[in-house]
Chain A
Amino acid sequence: MNIETTASFAVPWPELLGGGLIGLGAALLWAFNGRVMGISGIASAATWTERSDAQGDRTWRLSFLAALAFAGWFAARSLPTSGIAPSAGWIGLAISGALVGIGTRLGGGCTSGHGVCGVGRGSTRSIVATATFVAFGILSATSVHAWSGGTP
């Protein structure tokens, strides 16, 4: 790939490095534990009944989630600029959360499980799912923006 570094296009290092770290996290979980780093599934199964924990997987799932939250805590503490401002009102956040919970459970994955791991291993199901949620995400964000008159 021929990348010309000009004033109009700087190489997006934070995005490339950050994405690489996300991929590395997924690679560790797969190569060592044989598990897909699907965060919707990890969070859902970690908090559901014993039946979803038939193989005693609650320990690693909760450990993963704690580490993910720790990264956010550490970033907020050491890089004050990384603070997370609200991106929607309370009702919007509640509706959004419920739809994401229902949708990821029905569709069997989210941005990490389908988008990174599934697409990365060339799964047709995941490619279809990812194309679908990105398309509907664009549709939804663009409509909400047009309706409310501004992206926060």
Chain B
Amino acid sequence: MNATWVRAVVAVASGLCCGAGLVLSGMSDPRNVLRFLDVLGEWEPRLLFVMASAVAVFGLAYVSVARRRAPLFAPVFSLFPRPRIDVPLVAGAAVFGIGWGISGFCPGPSVVALGSGSLGAVVFVLCFLLGSWAVRLIDESALRGVPDVR
């Protein structure tokens, strides 16, 4: 089995964990997300525990492999952040937040919902891809020689 397929197997395990977590935590249901974001409605703060728990587990894993030169199945840890806090970062996050608050879908849960056969998720994901591709078309230079991280 070559490296590409070993990495694909890891990605499947990762996707299954993440998907199971989204379902179990209730985050794959956008109505739960809206109940969390709509602070003037019947506010449901429990999604904070999802975030806190996910951050803690990943944080521990990150610290425990921090001294390694490379991951197990790849030559390097791929992280190419733009170094500064700039306008695209904040403006992009704001636009994302506005979109997130309209439907309660963010990318992960929308893919899970797509698998569960939600027609709403089909519409969301198609429009998500169109939006993302549009920015790539306009900002081609961001792609030149820069491996994609997120």
Do the two chains bind? yes
Residues of A within 8 A of B (CB): 12, 14-45, 47-48, 51-52, 54-57, 59-61, 63-76, 79, 82-88, 90, 92-117, 119-125, 128-130, 132-146, 150-152
Q: Does B65 contact A (CB under 8 A)?
A: yes
Q: How far is the CB of A47 from chain B (nearest CB, A)?
A: 6
Q: Which residues of B have CB within 8 Å of A37?
A: 14, 18
- 21 pairs from A and B in contact (CB 8 Å cutoff): A18-B25, A23-B59, A34-B77, A37-B18, A67-B19, A84-B30, A86-B118, A86-B119, A86-B120, A93-B124, A96-B124, A99-B131, A101-B130, A101-B132, A104-B107, A104-B150, A116-B55, A117-B58, A130-B93, A136-B96, A140-B102
The 10 closest A-B pairs by CB, nearest first: A71-B19, A101-B131, A107-B92, A18-B25, A140-B101, A23-B57, A136-B97, A67-B15, A99-B99, A19-B53
- Contacts known (A32-B10, A33-B74, A59-B7); A21 close to B106, Cβ less than 8 A: no
B76-93 interface code vs A (CB 8 A; 1 in, 0 out): 111101101100111111
Q: How far is the CB of A40 from chain B (nearest CB, A)?
A: 4
Residues of B99-140 whose CB lies within 8 A of A: 99-108, 110-121, 123-136
Q: Which residues of A have CB within 8 Å of B21?
A: 17-25
- B114 & A72 in contact (Cβ 8 Å cutoff): yes
Q: Which residues of A have CB within 8 Å of B93?
A: 103, 107, 114, 128-130, 132-133, 136
Q: Which residues of B have CB within 8 Å of A23?
A: 21, 53-59, 61
Q: Which residues of A have CB within 8 Å of B62?
A: 27, 30, 117, 120-121
Most buried by B among A37, A106, A121, A152: A106
- A111 & B25 in contact (Cβ 8 Å cutoff): no
- A15 & B85 in contact (Cβ 8 Å cutoff): no
Q: Interface size on B (CB < 8 Å)?
A: 119
Q: How far is the CB of B98 from chain A (nearest CB, A)?
A: 4
A124: nearest chain-B partner, CB-CB: B85
Residues of B18-49 whose CB lies within 8 A of A: 18-31, 33-35, 37-42, 46-47, 49
- A33 & B47 in contact (Cβ 8 Å cutoff): no
Q: How far is the CB of A39 from chain B (nearest CB, A)?
A: 4
- A88 & B108 in contact (Cβ 8 Å cutoff): no
Q: Which residues of B have CB within 8 Å of A34?
A: 70-71, 74-78
Q: Does B1 contact A (CB under 8 A)?
A: no
- Contacts known (A12-B49, A100-B105); A75 close to B28, Cβ less than 8 A: yes
Instruction: Give which listed residue, B82, B111, B136, contacts A39 with CB less than 8 A.
Output: B111
- B77 & A137 in contact (Cβ 8 Å cutoff): no
Instruction: Give which listed residue, A38, A57, A107, contacts B88 with CB less than 8 A.
Output: A107
Most buried by A among B65, B85, B104: B104
